[in-house]
Amino acid sequence: MKIALAQLNYHIANFEANTNKIIGAIRQAEEQGAELVVFSELAVTGYYPHDLLERKEFIKKAEQAILKIAQECTNIAALVGAPSINQSPRGKKLFNSAYLLNQGKVETVRHKSLLPTYDIFDEYRHFEPNRQFEIVPFKGKKLAITICEDLWDEQPTQNEFGKDKLYTRSPLEELSKHQPDLVINLSASPFSYNQENWRKDTLVKKAIKYQLPIVYVNQVGAQTEIVFDGGSFFLKEDGTIPVELAYFEEDFQVIDTDNPTSKPIEHEDYIAKIHQALVLGIRDYFQKMGFKDAILGLSGGIDSALVCALAVEALGKDHVRGVLMPSRYSSDHSIDDAVKLAENLGIRHDTIAIQSMVNDFEEQLKPLFNNLPPNVAEENIQARTRGILVMALSNKFGNILLNTTNKSECAVGYGTLYGDMNGGLSVLGDVYKTDVYKLSHYINREQEIIPHNSIVKPPSAELRPDQKDTDSLPDYDILDAVLFNYIEMNLSPDEIISKGFEPETVLKITRMVNQNEYKRFQSPPILRVSSKAFGFGRRMPLVARYN
Amino acid sequence: MKIALAQLNYHIANFEANTNKIIGAIRQAEEQGAELVVFSELAVTGYYPHDLLERKEFIKKAEQAILKIAQECTNIAALVGAPSINQSPRGKKLFNSAYLLNQGKVETVRHKSLLPTYDIFDEYRHFEPNRQFEIVPFKGKKLAITICEDLWDEQPTQNEFGKDKLYTRSPLEELSKHQPDLVINLSASPFSYNQENWRKDTLVKKAIKYQLPIVYVNQVGAQTEIVFDGGSFFLKEDGTIPVELAYFEEDFQVIDTDNPTSKPIEHEDYIAKIHQALVLGIRDYFQKMGFKDAILGLSGGIDSALVCALAVEALGKDHVRGVLMPSRYSSDHSIDDAVKLAENLGIRHDTIAIQSMVNDFEEQLKPLFNNLPPNVAEENIQARTRGILVMALSNKFGNILLNTTNKSECAVGYGTLYGDMNGGLSVLGDVYKTDVYKLSHYINREQEIIPHNSIVKPPSAELRPDQKDTDSLPDYDILDAVLFNYIEMNLSPDEIISKGFEPETVLKITRMVNQNEYKRFQSPPILRVSSKAFGFGRRMPLVARYN
């Protein structure tokens, strides 16, 4: 059978744009002689619409979009993801469904059975699970139509307290009883650099176990924090993958399931993939929000330099503006490094010294500070003065502020709320400092864009004389290893210590993570590239006793 | 049977404090001759521990706490809420359970069947639902043990797109087949001023339908945003409620189920209840976070005056500090009103004029502002300068900043991110401006605490000459009515218009709500008093096409 895989980038709630995009792919598939074109999970709405699914007018628009798309399916059939209403008086209002559109109408609808409700996933909040397993006949073949998690009843786990079987049923086990010819899976599976093989491993096991080929169509593009990486594929019953679509971009391919071929995809290392994810994340955030221009503070340090380089790739050099805001503690090399970066990238940059405002704040506060010794209060005044300046430019010119905090800092609360934690989007909040270095080298792979000195100098917030990050934090290689074990691997402090880390260091770090939940609560949305990013996928109580 | 209802205020993850509190109540119940003492849902951990439930060491501590408490149950039995591990290889790792502790050990464990996963509730994220319905024999009686939502298989709905039967099963229908003598319900049911009768109505229907008495024990106290109001009760099979415990405070009572009596509880109107909820919310946030002192900016307006009065009630006048930060646009009466409020409350207050810093910012930014006309950029500089000053005092002295934004402002984005939207806790973020007025009159019910002038003058942000809120917003009675229909009632703009509101006004307001999701994303936690507060219980995509 000739099937088209349509891997598209949707915009949440933009029914018009999504519908037009889907119809365009249907016509393309028809022209190329496909009998069926497959789209991804919740294609009509974009994944994930969250509580918009609770709004009647939203569901109505999704239904209208499906009907409009169905009218295009006269000489070709399409499988399209969209919500549908649960007509039973009992259970959640909606199903997460796959619509088979054929002969100008909705031929049949199948619903998702396994609803992921962990990490960033909230599907039980809105959907009732399917409990009926039926095959869909199409052109003499029997299709087993599944949606994303439906094939994940057995899944890899990252730590021993996780479970590999989160669900009580196996949809493919049920469907296989009806001897299907082909499994189709409509997906919305996000990118995680440290779980990149999970998807193929999981589906390959299913294909071999049930001796069934699988057509897998994923979404691509970023929806605020979540980056979908595409990489749709056709998987044969022997576990080989003869067809694979592009990563981090839209792609489209018509395959013959009896004789599938395609040009091979080059797989890059995880740093190159994180790089692609972040550029796509920035680009889609701006495009889908209707913004064009970014602004950010340039400190001369590696984090702001990396964000600036990524932003220029995503938005173009004419749409990124850098602001240097030196204080009396800023070293000469910081200013030079920031200027050099801006020149290397060819972006507009301006300089505003902060000292006069900082002095004025300190002067006005002096009568109330009771001659107490300088502490974090004075340091934060500097960071917040910069925050005001860059937000003033943002407000005046409509440039969106990019946040430059990395995951290591975000984890331990090394940053000033309402100061350098400001921003519309956090670009590096899910990238550990050790990977910030690797990404910077990657950016410089062909020529020096990020100044060498920004990469090699000891990291410093420069909020007091001769300050270094290592004054209050362990070395980043230790810090990041402990954080990864605590956050991604979900290990207890004792378990981390038993891996050979110093007890004092581990307890200090985990305590800092716990004590800074309140800061992260007010963080901008963070582009997610790992299996456990701060934000929506990691829900920790604020008011709690953390030991 | 003599049963004790122990309505306690737990601290999330504070196993030591929660265990000691539970053991204290067990001893008290034993002394008063009770045969069984009932605690609330997840009493050992506090409700809701969120992703702490995914941590092995957390579950271990909960298990240890249960064993410790069991040892105290030698002459009395106890029903205690805590998580338990799902031993099946399939399904989520945990159950949300009720432990029957008797004769020094765990006698039996029953699990929650209906897992709320909507609004603020996330239980499917962590728990597997119970599917086996068995009666627990105890002292010759047959107990139907249920946990909170288990009795809510049929529930009221606020709007026509909602559903009254969110679940496919009815636990009490199943349990009633075994002819129980008594239903026990361990609960963690939060306060919502606009759903205050739902709880009793729902349980009364169940009692009458199955002709069964119900012992209902709720949690009390605030956990960050969520306020549990207590109000535990004993409900007879005829639907009458002879025993009711206190609201918004811990309470304890031993009842004889054959002859239940208690002194009646006085029910206050919704404004008095919101008042109690907010005071409890502030007090518990501070106590449970280990903070003592609050700080806030006093503008002379009604919002900051109300928050200040609530904070003094919650923390005491010696633990609240006010800061006046007038600008050139502040009217004399604003300063007078703020001073008068501080004097009425007897709190420390200081004044720092912001003009010199604002001038300096404007001066430094002038070369970059290209002579563009003043706009929101300049207004935000004022709000953010105040934000820096009050945060500097917060950082210097360890006072936690209280946010004073009300729900109407929060909804339409009438506030400055990193300025007046700062704070550790938003006190009024779920209170519409029209209720801010009512609460202020309530505060003044015996004497003038909030200056009369703060209540009667036209609301103004005072960020430009002669500014009034009504320059850019509809009157608050219209605004709040439209907002309530859009947010709490989840109606579409068309439906709101059909209720008689001006189309232009409705579309303007709903557009403002949608366009300000990004600001609310970075809001402090908001004390929840309604059925739909901004924050955790209302999850909207940022990157979306909103019409």
Residue B547 banded pLDDT, cuts 50, 70, 90: low
Q: What is the pLDDT of residue B343?
A: 98
Mean pLDDT along residues A374-395? 96
Q: B21, B30, B35, B41: which is the annotated catalytic residue? A: B41
3-class state of residue A190 by DSSP = strand
Distance between CA atoms of residues A324 and B225, nearest Å: 38
Mean pLDDT, all residues of chain B: 96
**Spatial CB neighbours of A250, under 8 Å, sequence gap ≥ 6:** A7, A8, A9, A220, A221, A230
CA atoms within 13 A on the CB side of A236: 12
In this prediction, residue A484 has a pLDDT band, given cuts at 50, 70 and 90, of very high
Q: What are B139-165's pLDDT values in tens digits?
A: 999 999 999 999 999 998 877 777 889
Count of A-B CB contacts under 8 Å: 270
Give strand pairing partners of B26. none
Distance (Å) of CA B248 to CA B19, B42, B382, B531: 21, 18, 38, 17
Q: For residues A248-277, give the mean pLDDT.
A: 93
Mean pLDDT of A74-100: 97
| CA-based end-to-end distance of chain B | 60
Mean pLDDT calculated for residue range A397-407 = 98
CA distance A189 to A6: 15
Q: How far apart are CA B197 and CA B529, in angstroms?
A: 14
Nearest CA in chain B to A57: B492
Instruction: Decide if pLDDT at B406 tops 90.
Output: yes
**Radius of gyration of the CA atoms of chain B, in A:** 25
Yes or no, beta carbons of A11 and B545 under 8 Å apart? yes
Instruction: List the Cα angle B114/B115/B116 in 5-degree steps.
Output: 115
Cα atoms in the Cβ-side hemisphere of radius 13 Å centred on A520: 28
Contact A352 B372 (CB under 8 A): no
Out of B167, B352, B538, whose CB is closest to A90? B167
List all residues of chain A from 286 to 305 with a beta carbon under 8 Å from chain B: 288-289
- Nearest-Cα distance to chain B for A12, in Å, is 5
Q: Which of A5-9, A486-490, B466-470 has the lowest mean pLDDT?
A: B466-470
- Report whether A350 contacts A323 (CB < 8 A): yes
- Interface touch A117/B117, C-beta < 8 Å: yes
Cα–Cα distance for residue pair A351/A326, rounded to 1 Å: 8
Are B165 and A89 in contact (CB < 8 Å)? yes
Higher pLDDT, B440 or B264: B440
Query: How far apart are alpha carbons A61 and A368 in whole angstroms?
Result: 57
Pick from B128, B369, B392: CB nearest A361: B392
Report helix angle B302-315 to B332-345, nearest 10: 10
- For residue B33, what are the CA distances in angstroms to A350, A406, A481, B75, B78? 77, 59, 55, 10, 13
Query: What DSSP string describes A366-377?
Result: HHHHTTPPP-HH
* Statement: residue A461 has pLDDT above 90: no
Q: Which residue of A lies nearest to B224 if distances are taken between CA atoms? A: A543
**Residue of B69, B80, B30 whose CA lies nearest to B186:** B80
Q: How far is B324 from chain A (nearest CA, A)?
A: 13
Q: What is the pLDDT of residue B153?
A: 95
Nearest to A321 by CA among A371, A385, A265, A396: A396
Q: Please judge whether A541 and B12 are an interchain contact, meaning their C-beta atoms are less than 8 angstroms apart.
A: yes
CA B55, B59, B60, B61 dihedral sign is: positive
- Residue B400: both structure tokens together: 């936690």
Using alpha carbons only, what angle is made at residue B41 by residues B35 and B46, rounded to the nearest 5 degrees?
A: 115
Position B275 scores a pLDDT of: 98
> Regarding predicted confidence, which is higher, A460 or A22?
A22
Q: Which residue has the higher pLDDT, A471 or A25?
A: A25
- For residues A441-461, give the mean pLDDT: 94
Q: What whole-number distance in Å separates Cα of residue B487 and Cα of residue B535?
A: 12
Mean pLDDT of chain A: 96
* CA distances (Å), origin A176, targets A96, A107, A146, A362: 21, 22, 12, 72
List the beta bridge partners of residue B127. Answer: B94
Q: Examine the residue annotation and report whether B112 is marked as an active-site residue of this protein.
A: yes
Copy the structure tokens of residue B164.
């009254």
Scanning A471-530 for CB atoms below 8 A from B yields 490, 492-494, 518, 521-525
Instruction: Please identify which residue in the block is written with the tokens 């003094």.
Output: B312
Q: Tokens 């009992």: give the residue.
A: A90
Nearest to B509 by CA among B523, B493, B495: B493
Residue A161 pLDDT greater than 90, yes or no = no
Residue B487 has pLDDT above 90, yes or no: yes
Write the pLDDT tens digit of every residue in A348-363. Answer: 999 999 999 999 999 9
Task: Say how far apart CA B216 and CA B121 lie, in whole Å.
Answer: 20
Active site residues of A: 41, 112, 148
* DSSP helix, strand, coil percent of chain A (3-state; round to 5): 40, 20, 40
DSSP B462-485: -SSTT--GGGTS--HHHHHHHHHH
% helix, strand, coil for chain B, step of 5 = 40, 20, 40
What residues pair up with A222 in beta bridges, in sequence order?
A227
pLDDT value of residue A166 = 93
Task: Please state whether the predicted TM-score (pTM) of the whole model is above 0.95.
Answer: yes
Point out the residue among B14, B361, B369 whose CB comes nearest to the CB of A388.
B361
Tokens of A36: 């069926």
Cα–Cα distance, A3 to B246 (Å, whole number): 65
- What tens digit of pLDDT does each residue of A133-159 get? 999 999 999 999 999 999 999 998 877
Instruction: Mark whether B148 is an active-site residue.
Output: yes
| Cα A72 to Cα A23: distance, rounded to the nearest angstrom | 7
Radius of gyration of chain A (CA): 25
Pairwise CB contact (< 8 Å): A222 & B365 = no
Q: Which of B97, B122, B93 is nearest to B112 (CA)?
A: B97
The pLDDT > 90 percentage for chain B reads: 91
Cβ-in-10-Å burial (0-12, 13-18, 19+) of A445 comes to exposed
pLDDT in tens, A285-340: 999 999 999 999 999 999 999 999 999 999 999 999 999 999 988 888 889 999 99
Structure tokens at A131: 């409990």
Find the distance separating the first CA and the last CA of chain A, reported in whole Å: 60
Task: Say which amino acid occupies A175.
Answer: L
The pLDDT-based confidence of A547 (bands split at 50, 70, 90) is low
pLDDT score of B330: 84
Q: Which of B151, B229, B158, B159 is nearest to B184 (CA)?
A: B151
Cα-to-chain-centroid distance, residue B510: 25
pLDDT band (50, 70, 90) for residue A271: very high
B115/B318 Cα distance (integer angstroms): 43
> In which band, very low, low, confident or very high, does the pLDDT at A460 lie, cut at 50, 70 and 90?
confident
Select the residue of B117, B492, B521 nearest A124 (Cβ to Cβ): B117
